[in-house]
Amino acid sequence: MLLSDRSEPEPDLWVAKGDDDNYLRRDPGPHDLVLMVEVADTSLARDREQKIRA
């Protein structure tokens, strides 16, 4: 899921507007998202240190 030139998250859960058919040919973009959830139990330190610098 591409949100910007520097952000391509892989969330654990996301909810997008519209029907599933809307996303057969493309991934949802920022304007499509209603909710995005990342559970960072084991990757929290990496997310806060390494990923934030990228």
Query: 1-54: per-residue pLDDT in tens?
Result: 666 777 666 788 889 999 989 889 988 888 999 998 888 777 777 777 776 665
Residue-level pLDDT at 41: 75
Distances (CA, A) of 34 to 13, 39, 44, 45: 11, 17, 23, 26
Q: CA dist 25 to 9, 13, 22, 28, 33, Å?
A: 19, 19, 7, 10, 16
pLDDT score of 54: 55
Distance separating alpha carbons of residues 38 and 50, to the nearest angstrom: 16
CA distance 54 to 13: 23
